Every structure is written in structure tokens, then in C-alpha cells.
């Protein structure tokens, strides 16, 4: 019996997806509910599992753009595997007799790999193969961190960056030497060395198709620039009070809630209080109408290996700082594992972007359309500032951060935008205002 594997519906506005990676090969036996395919949409990655045990036959390859509902593979529940590990044999005399001759071959295979660093002799996944081919890597010399020592895309990318395994001319030669019986011979590596040397000397370029997510990011950013009148206003905030609270309670906070006490929870709550005062910053334009949101769904811009995503903390005004921090941790884990869903990225009314984690001192963030405002946070730096104590002005070194609010000038005027940013500043410099909601 054969069953079709179709591209699942992943969101109302999504009509197509890209085959990101087949985690199982065509001709390989798969088990029910085993992940066989990673799909990339313009918003997130989606895992597709096998509906039944059987032999997989793929009809689309990695990189193909496919429509929702399209058939991309078949599973034959009565088929015989022609790739990878064969399906389990039934406990019969025939099965026992057929298993016996395989022992010498298995022993021979094990012996041939005895000199390898990791069991990478199996066929690489399409995603890993692309990285290996693009960078001229020696897969046998890269230590795999996947299941059973398999090579993952992250392993290959790290090797390409020079973080381990093979990469570049010297690493390719050395990798061949250390690979032993499982890798290429020294003579082969040396013969290829002039090719790598010429490649390095000439520089050159590589043409790689954009991922679906990257294309969508590009489209949305250009759309925001073309459809909104974006302006940015700046201010700076003294982080002393928040840092003192964090230092005083971080251990008890982590002990009680199981997560660290960061700064984002404070900024989310501070922004919500500012949005309540300046509702235009939480609104959007729809045709000739202004749509006001009486709820506060705060998007948190997160950089991932596949690009920028903005998971949304829904109804954040009804959450405590601890619940917000737990929500951020939850999304960070899902983003790292590539399990962010379309629903996680939908419904935002205002966005916060923290470029400070990468060391940015100041920036002008771009709107996350159709939202009308985005708050940019930046690196905390000790700077001399003038403070007033007892009616006297003094110069002290304080931990300061630049804030940036990019806004749609069609929705907000300068007065509202500046007032919003001042309220965020006041709430952070005096966190008791957040507690009292004033």
C-alpha cells in the first residue's frame, strides 16, 4: 500500500514552501512519526513526519519550491529498502539465513572505518552536502555531533568557518592525513592542493539561492521602506536602577522561576505603559482607516542561523516580568531548535529589537510592517553623565544605553514619538513606575 506525503497547510497567507532538507533518503525505510522532511516557509521551518512505516520515495529535491498540498513523496508500506538501513526482518528461518552472509561485510565495513574520526561514511544529507561541496571540505575529517556521530549542517558550517574539521588548503591536506583508511589519501589531497591554492589566490564568488525565509525578510524590509514614512528618534537611559534590582534579586529569581532575570522583561513592561499613554504607537494603518489595538502583543526580534524572526509574546500586559522572561526563554529554545511555528510569529502590534547583544552602540531599526513602531535597544556602556544630588550637579560614571524608536510618521507625529521614548526612559530609570503603572 502506498501513501502520499503532501505539503501541509502552515498558515492562511502561505501558498508555497521550499524543500529545506530531506532527513531521510529516497529508498530508505522510515518509521511512523519519524521526521523525514524540513520545509521552509517565508515565516518558519516546519517538520513533516512519516504517516506510517514503509519505504520512502521522494519526488522533489532540496531547494525545490512546492505548492501547499503538492505531493513530494510516497511511502510504500510493502516496499523493500534500497538505501540506508533495511527495515527489520521478520523472525523467520529465511530472515535468519539472509542475515548470516551480512556479517563479513559488516565486519569489513567496520574495519574500513577504524581509522576515521567519526562515522561519516554514510551518505550526507542534502543540506550538509551543499556546505561540504561549496567550501571544498573533507567530510571524513569533521567530527559529527548528530545521532550516532552523523555529520550535521552545523558541524559542516563550523568547519567552513575554521572552527574544526577541514576548511581551506592546509586543513584539507591535514584532514586527509588524519582521516586514515576512512579518508582521502595524502596523494589525492596534495594533487588537489593547487586547485585550492588557485581558488584562494583568485578570490572568486559563489552563487547560492536565497532561502525562502531570507527572501521574505528582504521583501518585507523593502516593503516597509516603500510603504511607510519611517523616522527615528533617539534618547538615552540610565540603567543603574534596573541593574541594581537585577544584581540584588537575580539568584532568588532564577531559583524560583528557573530562568535568568534579564533586561528585556523590564523593557517590555516599560514599553507597554508607554503604549497605553500613546496608543498610536500600538496602532496601524489599513487603507484609509486607523486600526487601534486594545491589546499588547509584543514582538521580540531574534537573529537565527536562517535569518531574523520576530516571535510574539501575546497579551504581554497581563503577564508579570517573570512570565515574560519565561516566554522569551521558550521562544529562544524553539528558535534554536528550528521549531518556531507560524502562530508564534503572528499578531504582533509593537516590536522590540535588542542589537546590544551583538555590541551595537546605536542603530535605526526598520519597522515590522504593518506595525507603526519598533524600539531599538543597544549596548550598555559606562559614560560620564551629569546627575543632580541635593540641588547640586555632579559628574558620575553611569551605565548608559541609547534607545531608538523608529516610527511611521503617517501615524505618529514627533510629539507622540518623543513622548513615548521619554516614558520608556522614565520607567526604566524608576522601575517602581512600572509596578504602580504610572
Location of C-alpha cell 574544526: 164
CA 106, 112, 116, 122 torsion: positive or negative? negative
Interatomic CA distance for residues 14 and 123, integer angstroms:
32
Report DSSP state, residue 258.
S
In terms of Cβ atoms closer than 10 Å to its own Cβ (0-12, 13-18, 19+), residue 91 is exposed
Question: Please, are residues 179 and 117 in contact by the beta-carbon 8 Å criterion?
Answer: yes
Q: Cβ distance 312 to 344 under 8 Å?
A: yes
Q: Which residues pair with 385 in a beta bridge?
A: 396
Cα 135–139–140 angle (5° rounding)? 150
What is the spatial distance between Cα 52 and Cα 46, in angstroms, rounded to a whole number? Answer: 19
249: helix, strand or coil: helix
Which one of 33, 64, 251, 409 is the catalytic residue?
A: 409
Q: Which of 148, 408, 413, 430 is catalytic?
A: 413
Mark whether 409 is an active-site residue: yes
Task: Please name which of 202, 178, 201 lies closest in space to residue 189, comparing C-alpha atoms.
Answer: 178
Query: Are 410 and 367 contacting, i.e. CB atoms less than 8 angstroms apart?
Result: no
| Coil vs helix vs strand at 323 | helix
DSSP of 1-31, one letter per residue?
Answer: -EEEEEPPP--TT--EEEEEEESS-TTBEE-
| DSSP conformation class of 42 | S
Place of cell 537585577: 246
Report the candidate in 303, 306, 307, 323 with the shortest Cα–Cα distance to residue 315.
323
What residues contact 200, with CB distance under 8 A and at least 6 apart? Answer: 168, 169
* CA 397 vs CA 112, 140, 156, 384, 402: distances in Å: 64, 54, 45, 4, 15
Strand partners for 58: 73
Cell of 420: 513615548
Q: At 70, give phi and psi (nearest 5°).
A: -70, 145
Residues whose CB is less than 8 angstroms from the CB of residue 91 and which lie 6 or more positions away in sequence, other chains included: none
Q: Is 330 a catalytic residue?
A: no
Q: Give the residue numbers marked as catalytic.
A: 409, 413
Amino acid at each position: 500500500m502506498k501513501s502520499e506525503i503532501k505539503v501541509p497547510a502552515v498558515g492562511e497567507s502561505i501558498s508555497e514552501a521550499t524543500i529545506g532538507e530531506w532527513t531521510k533518503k529516497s529508498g530508505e525505510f522510515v518509521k511512523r512519526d519519524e521526521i523525514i522532511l524540513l520545509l521552509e516557509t517565508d515565516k518558519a521551518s516546519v517538520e513533516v513526519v512519516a504517516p506510517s512505516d514503509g519505504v520512502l520515495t521522494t519526488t522533489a529535491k532540496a531547494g525545490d519550491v512546492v505548492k501547499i498540498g503538492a505531493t513530494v513523496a510516497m511511502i510504500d508500506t510493502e516496499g523493500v529498502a534500497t538505501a540506508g538501513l533495511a527495515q527489520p526482518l521478520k523472525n523467520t528461518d529465511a530472515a535468519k539465513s539472509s542475515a548470516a552472509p551480512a556479517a563479513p561485510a559488516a565486519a569489513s565495513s567496520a574495519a574500513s572505518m577504524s581509522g576515521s574520526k567519526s562515522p561519516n561514511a554514510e551518505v550526507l544529507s542534502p543540506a550538509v552536502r551543499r556546505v561540504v561541496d561549496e567550501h571544498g571540505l573533507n567530510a571524513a575529517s569533521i567530527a559529527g555531533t548528530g545521532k550516532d556521530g552523523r555529520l550535521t549542517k552545523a558541524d559542516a558550517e563550523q568547519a567552513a568557518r575554521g572552527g574544526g574539521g577541514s576548511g581551506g588548503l592546509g586543513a584539507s591536506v591535514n584532514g586527509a592525513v588524519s582521516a586514515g583508511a576512512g579518508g582521502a589519501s595524502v596523494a589525492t589531497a596534495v594533487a588537489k592542493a593547487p586547485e585550492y591554492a588557485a581558488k584562494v589566490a583568485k578570490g572568486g564568488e559563489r552563487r547560492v539561492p536565497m532561502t525562502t525565509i531570507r527572501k521574505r525578510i528582504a521583501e518585507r524590509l523593502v516593503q516597509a521602506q516603500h510603504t511607510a514614512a519611517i523616522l527615528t528618534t533617539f534618547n538615552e537611559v540610565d540603567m543603574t536602577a534596573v541593574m541594581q534590582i537585577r544584581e540584588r534579586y537575580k539568584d532568588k529569581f532564577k531559583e524560583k522561576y528557573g530562568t535568568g532575570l534579564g533586561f528585556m522583561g523590564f523593557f517590555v513592561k516599560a514599553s507597554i505603559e508607554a503604549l497605553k499613554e500613546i496608543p498610536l504607537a500600538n496602532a496601524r494603518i489599513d487603507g484609509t482607516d486607523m486600526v487601534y489595538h486594545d491589546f499588547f502583543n509584543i514582538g521580540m526580534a531574534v537573529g537565527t542561523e536562517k535569518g531574523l524572526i520576530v516571535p510574539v509574546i501575546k497579551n504581554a500586559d497581563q503577564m508579570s516580568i517573570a512570565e515574560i522572561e519565561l516566554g522569551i526563554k521558550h521562544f529562544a529554545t524553539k528558535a534554536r531548535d528550528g521549531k518556531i511555528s507560524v502562530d508564534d510569529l503572528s499578531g504582533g502590534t509593537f516590536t522590540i529589537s535588542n542589537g546590544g547583544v551583538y555590541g551595537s552602540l546605536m542603530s535605526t531599526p526598520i519597522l515590522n510592517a504593518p506595525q507603526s513602531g519598533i524600539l531599538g535597544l543597544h549596548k550598555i556602556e559606562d559614560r560620564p553623565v551629569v546627575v543632580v544630588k541635593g540641588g547640586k550637579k555632579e559628574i558620575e560614571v553611569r551605565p548608559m544605553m541609547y534607545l531608538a524608536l523608529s516610527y511611521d510618521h503617517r501615524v505618529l507625529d514627533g510629539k507622540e514619538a518623543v513622548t513615548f521614548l521619554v516614558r520608556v526612559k522614565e520607567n526604566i530609570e524608576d522601575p517602581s513606575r512600572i509596578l504602580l503603572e504610572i
